[in-house]
Structure 1
Amino acid sequence: MEITLDKFKPKITRPFKRKNEYWVKLIDESGEYIMKFKSPLEAEDAIYGLLDLQVYGGKVKLKLREGNVIEDIQVIELYKPSAKELLEEYFTD
């Protein structure tokens, strides 16, 4: 099953071991998704690779299988604000 999420800004958990695999959860308003890896190093690499998405958010296409397990994630657009927008947001809050 493929779904497209427009405002995907997940909170990403640290890798945890389950059934001889390392799982990482991506938690968003739209739900909870799981990525599975064979080693903790692969899981850590994925977390660092998703850092921009975690900070800024974006539009993604997820290919899911049963249990909301992500088989493939494709970042279509990253909502990275300009420096001016970041400064305005910082000084108005």
Structure 2
Amino acid sequence: MAVKKVERWWPAIAHGMCYALPFLLITRSVWALLIVGGTHAVLDHYQAAKYVVWAQASSAPGRSGRHGARPLTTRAPRPPCRALGRARC
């Protein structure tokens, strides 16, 4: 099913319905279940998750393009005794 859901709609819809079944424990709203299952089927069919992950990774704070991450802080690291909350080392 994993390969076929990106090629044809029927496996994607069947997978979306199976994905929505556990949400019956939370809600009985048909509209909510259709939204959960329908959006899951569409996102799986078009493999949109990889584009979302790519967008999040490229816009993450502290990132400098493809060359790696910059440190999130410019502070010097604390000595181990200070990291444990002691006043003096």
Give the TM bin, normalised by the shorter chain. Answer: under 0.3
Structure with greater strand percent: 1
Greater relative CO, 1 or 2 (CA 8 Å, sep 6+): 1
Q: With the length of structure 1 as denominator, give the TM-score of the two structures.
A: 0.26
Q: Who wins on radius of gyration, i.e. which is larger?
A: 2
Q: With the length of structure 2 as denominator, give the TM-score of the two structures.
A: 0.26
Structure with greater helix percent: 2
